[in-house]
Chain A
Amino acid sequence: MEMKLPPDPHDFSVPQRQSVAAIFILVVKSAVLIAKNMWPLLVITFLRSNKWGFFNKWLFVIITFAVISILFAVIRYLFYRYYIKDNNLIIQTGWLRKKTLSIPIKSIQAVHVEQNIWQQLFRVSKVTLDGAGSEKTEIQIDAIDMLKAEQLKQVLLLHADTKFLGGTTIEADEIYKLSIADLFKLSLSANHLEAFVILFAVSLNVLDDIRKAFNFDGWGYMERYAGRLQGHVVLASTVVIIFMAVISIAFSTIRIFIKYFDFSLHNSNQKWKISFGLFNRTQKIIPHNKIQLYGWHANWLRRKLNFWLLDVKTVGQQEIKEKKHFKIPLTSMVAATSLVNAYQQTPVFNIEAAETIEPDYWRRKTLTTGLTITILLGLILVYWLQWQALWVAFVMLYFAFTNYRWFKNFRWQYNQEGLQLYSGLWGRRYQLLVWKKIQQVNVHQSPYQRRHKLATLKFTTAGGSVILPYIKLATAQRLVNSVLYWVESRNETWM
C-alpha cells in the first residue's frame, strides 16, 4: 500500500459533521427512500382524487415530495456526528430519537471508500465499514471530504486488528460484477414459463381491479374483441402467443433488473461481500467458513450461454437452526471455478475422468416410479379411451429415457478433502462437499440393492445434504469408512 499520509492529518477526536455536500447526497438518498416506501400511496392519490386538474396534481406531488426529502436530509445532516474516542469510532444520529453507535476499531475488518456520480461531482466519498461478521451492523458515512475519507481510512486501519486484514491485501479485493449486458443475458434465459404463470395470476386480479377503478370492463372488452376475431383462429392464437411471449420476457427482464441491478461481489480473505438490487439494495456478508455446501447449476439454455447460478448454502453461528441459501449469477464457468477456493482447495474436477454410478439406477427407477405412474395413468385412461389407453406406454418410454439420460450424465469423484458431483437431465448441476462440513452420513439399501450389493449414500451438512445414488456396496463402505476417519481424526471444525 503506497498511500502517502497527507501532511496535516485531520483530528478525528473532535465530534464533526459530514461535508456540507452531504445535504445534497442525503436529499437524493431520502428521495429514493421515500419514493420506495410511498409509491403505492402516490399512485392511489392519483387514481382516486378528481378535484384538481392533472397539472396541479403533479405539482402538488412533486412539491410535497421535494419538501419532505429536503427536510429529512437537513435533519439528518444536522444531527449526524462522528468521531474517534478511546479506540472507538462513535457515530451519533437522530433528532427526536438519539442514537449513539460505538464501534471498537479493533473489530473493524475492512474499510471501503466509494464514490458514485453525485459524490464525484461534489468531491466527497462514502465510507463503509465491515464489522466482525454479522450482516446488519454495517456502518456508513455518506459524504465526507475525499481527503478526509482517506485519512479516516488510514487511522481506522492503523488500529484495526491485523489478523482480519491479512496484511495489506484489503485493496486487492477480487471483485466480480454484473454488467447490463449480463443482466439481459440472465433475463432472456430465465424460466419464462414461471414468469408467465405469475403474470397470468396477477393479470386476472389486475383486470378485476381495473374494472372497479375505471368502471371499465376488461373481460367484456376482451370477449367482444375475441368475438370479432372469430374465423381468424390461427392469426388470433399466433398473436396471443407472441404477445404472451413478449410480455413474459419483459416481465422476467424487469424482475431480474430489480433484483440483480448493480450486482457486485468482493472476495477478500475471509469472506464475500455481496450487494445487489435496484430499489432494495441487499447487502450480505458471507464468511467463507459459514458455507456448508457449494454448487452451481444452469438450465439448458443457460448452459449453452455459459451462464451459471452459484448456489451457496450457509449456516450461521447465531442462527444455527436457520439455513440460508444464496443464488449468485455467474457469467461463466470460470467465475464459478475461481470462487471455489472460498470453500475448498481442490480444483473443480474433470468430468471426463470421473466415475459413474451403476446402470441399475435408471432401470430400477424406471421400473419403480415409471411403471407405477404409467399403470395408474393407464387404468384411469382405459375408462375413456378403452384399448387406445395403450398409448400410455409412451409415458413409460419417457421415464426410461429421462432416467437413462440422468444416469449417463452423472459423474462423481472424491479425494481426501471432499466430494464432487455432476448431474442433470437437460441442465447441469455441480455440487461440492467438503468432508469437514459433514454432520451425518447415511447408507441406504433397498431390497434390490441388498441383493445386488449396491448402496445409496447421503451426506448431510448443517446447510443441506448431497446424495450419491447406486454405487457398489464395497465402494460405499470404503468411502464411508474413509470419510468417518477423515472427519474424526482431523478435528477440523465445520464452521
Chain B
Amino acid sequence: MNFSNIEVLVPDLPLVELINFNSLEKDYLRVQRLTFFITFSIVGIVLNGVVLIFEKLQTSWIIMLFVTGFLLVALLVWFGDTLSFKYSGYALRQKDVLYRSGWFIQKVRMVPLSRIQHVSVQSGPIERKYKLASVSIFTAGLAQADFTIRGITDGTANQLKEGITELMHGNEASA
C-alpha cells in the first residue's frame, strides 16, 4: 500500500503569484480615516468620562497609562490601515476570485467560482458618501461571508457581482 506522489507539473499552470491584483480606490483610505476618527473620538470621550466620574482613577500614573495606551492603539490602527490599504487587492480570473488583505499577517484567499453559493453588494453610510461599495462572496458551510472585497466603486462592485454570477453560470453551462 504505497501512497504515490508523482510530481505534477502542468506546463501552463496558471500561477497565482503572477496575478496583477486590482488595488482598492484611493477614496477608501479616506473612508477608513474618517471611520478611524469617529471611533477613536468616541473611545476618547468615553475614557475621559470614566476618569472624570471615578475619582479614584484621577492619579497621574493611571491617566498616563490611559493616554499612552490610547495613543499606542490609535497609532497601530492608523499604520495598520495604511499598510493594509496598500497591500489589499482583488482579482477575478475565469475560474476563481482572489482577494488579498492584511498588514501584519497577510492573507491571499482564493475561491473557485464553481463553489460560490451567492454574491452580495452592500455599502455603509460613509462608503455611500464616496460612492464606494463592498462585495461579499459566500460559499457552503459558512454562516458568514468567505470574504468581503471592500473599497471599490459601486459601479465596479456591481460589475464584479455580475461578472462573477455570469462566469458561475457560464461554467455550469459548459460543464
Contacts and interface: CB of A to CB of B under 8 A. Distances in A.
Interface string A477-491: 100111011011001
Interface residue tally on B, bucketed by range? 35 or more
A347 B3 CA distance: 6
Contact of A484 (B2, B105, B110): B110
Contacts of A442: 107-110
Interface string B90-123: 0000011000000011111111111101000000
B13 A485 contact: yes
A346 B2 CA distance: 9
A443 interface: yes
Interface string A340-377: 00000011111001100000000000000000000000
Chain B interface SS verdict (over half):
loop
A490 to B, nearest CB: 10
Interface residues of A, number: 44
A420 to B, nearest CB: 7
Report which residue of B6, B10, B110 has the largest number of chain A beta carbons within 10 angstroms of its beta carbon.
B110
A487 to B, nearest CB: 5
Contacts of B4: 346, 415
B1 interface: yes
Contacts of A477: 15-17
Interface in B7-50: 8, 10, 13-17
Interface in B104-150: 104-115, 117, 139-143, 146
Interface in A205-236: none
B141 A323 contact: yes
Given A315-B140, A413-B3, A440 B110 contact: yes
Contact of B3 (A420, A482, A491): A420
Contacts of A438: 112, 115
Contacts of B115: 438-440, 487, 494
A414 interface: yes
B8 A482 contact: yes
Contacts of A480: 16, 110
Given A292-B141, A416-B8, A441 B110 contact: yes
Contacts of B105: 444-446
Contacts of B117: 320
A446 B105 CA distance: 4
Report which residue of B3, B15, B17, B114 has the largest number of chain A beta carbons within 10 angstroms of its beta carbon.
B3
A446 B114 contact: no
A480 to B, nearest CB: 6
A488 B3 contact: no
A321 B175 contact: no
B5 interface: yes
Report which residue of A413, A439, A441 has the largest number of chain B beta carbons within 10 angstroms of its beta carbon.
A439
A440 B109 contact: yes
A347 to B, nearest CB: 5
Contacts of B109: 440-442
Given A350-B2, A413-B5, A463-B141, A484 B17 contact: no
Chain A interface SS verdict (over half):
mixed
A494 B140 contact: yes
Contacts of A439: 111, 115, 139-142, 146
Contacts of B5: 413-415
B108 A443 contact: yes
A471 to B, nearest CB: 15
Nearest to A456: B105
Interface string A439-459: 111111111001000000000
Nearest to A414: B5
Contacts of A440: 109-111, 115, 139, 146
B137 to A, nearest CB: 9
Nearest to A441: B110
A494 B1 CA distance: 26
A320 B108 CA distance: 25
A438 B96 CA distance: 12
A413 B114 CA distance: 26
A267 interface: no
Contact of B104 (A350, A415, A446, A484): A446
Nearest to A351: B3
Given A348-B3, A413-B5, A443-B108, A462 B141 contact: yes
B167 to A, nearest CB: 11
Nearest to B17: A477
B6 A487 contact: no
A461 interface: yes
20 contacts: A292-B141, A315-B140, A323-B141, A350-B1, A350-B2, A414-B5, A415-B3, A445-B105, A445-B106, A445-B107, A446-B104, A446-B105, A460-B139, A481-B16, A484-B16, A485-B13, A485-B14, A488-B95, A488-B96, A488-B113
Given A346-B3, A461-B141, A485-B10, 17 more contacts: A348-B1, A350-B1, A350-B3, A413-B5, A415-B4, A439-B140, A440-B110, A442-B108, A444-B105, A445-B105, A460-B142, A477-B16, A480-B110, A484-B14, A484-B16, A487-B115, A491-B175
Interface of A: 292, 315, 320-321, 323, 346-350, 353-354, 413-416, 420, 438-447, 450, 460-464, 477, 480-482, 484-485, 487-488, 491, 494-495
